[in-house]
Amino acid sequence: MTPLENEISSVKKELVDMWILVQSQLNKAREAMIQFDKDLAREVLVKEKRVNSFELKIDRDVENIFALFCPVAIDLRFLLAALKINTNLERIGDIAASVAKYVVESSVNFDAAALESTSLTRMYDESINILMDTRTAFENEDTALARSIFKRDDVIDAINDNAPATIGEIIKADITSMNEALFMLSIIRKLERIGDQSKNIAEEIIFYVEAKILKHAERKNKGNM
């Protein structure tokens, strides 16, 4: 391998390691939420610093490669994509930390029936699965799998769209559950962003592998209708 190939391989490994850490953060935050485990939630908050450190290191490494090697073609596309993927992963890590913070600050556990009626647990599981599949697509340069993310995000969007009405019914049925219900609505809003960030990552995978830019393509197509 050339020096440039070695550096790019190193960045790819760092991104995968960061991906695994962010997935772990999401899983632990989910478990803390369902089990109302404040100790596990605090662990997520402590490890958020590692996610931030990963982001800074990957940014620095990519900048160094630009300065030393002046990459072109697919190498350039990969590095540009890596910067954006890195940012999206860090934001997903922030969401995991936010969920953990809700658990730490909440005085009551989330009601199992409320979690079911809002589809929050299903939404959380789908968000994690989508993120895992983006990692597989990235590692294997699988643009077909990356494209499948766009449709699967519709499930997350639908749950998010239905959430206000469902949360309203929960509050109407028991006004004392208001704080808990609003916490759940806030978590649903944050999980919806994971779907959007996973789509952003999928777009970057397609960009560097196929040299196709999908950003704003849907909006442009709608404008031509």
* Residue 225, pLDDT above cutoff 80: no
CA–CA dist 169, 211 (Å, integer): 47
pLDDT computed for residue 205 by the predictor: 97
pLDDT 10s digits, 67-116: 999 999 999 999 999 999 999 999 999 999 999 999 999 888 888 888 89
pLDDT 10s digits, 160-206: 999 999 999 999 999 988 988 999 999 999 999 999 999 999 999 99
Q: Tell me, which fold does domain 3-223 have in CATH?
A: Methane Monooxygenase Hydroxylase; Chain G, domain 1 (1.20.58)
pLDDT band at 216 (very low <50, low <70, confident <90, very high): low
pLDDT computed for residue 177 by the predictor: 86
pLDDT computed for residue 224 by the predictor: 44
In the chain, pLDDT over 70 holds for what percent of residues?
Answer: 95
CA–CA dist 9, 74 (Å, integer): 13
* Residue 120, pLDDT above cutoff 90: yes
pLDDT computed for residue 223 by the predictor: 44
Query: For the residues 138-150, what does the mean pLDDT come to?
Result: 96
What DSSP string runs through 104-148? HH-SSPPPHHHHHHTTHHHHHHHHHHHHHHHHHHHHHT-HHHHHH
Domain ranges of the chain: 3-223
pLDDT 10s digits, 53-63: 999 999 999 99
Q: Can you give the pTM of this predicted structure?
A: 0.92
CA–CA dist 119, 41 (Å, integer): 21
Phi-psi sector, 142: left (phi>0), alpha (psi -120 to 50), beta: beta
pLDDT computed for residue 179 by the predictor: 87
pLDDT computed for residue 111 by the predictor: 85
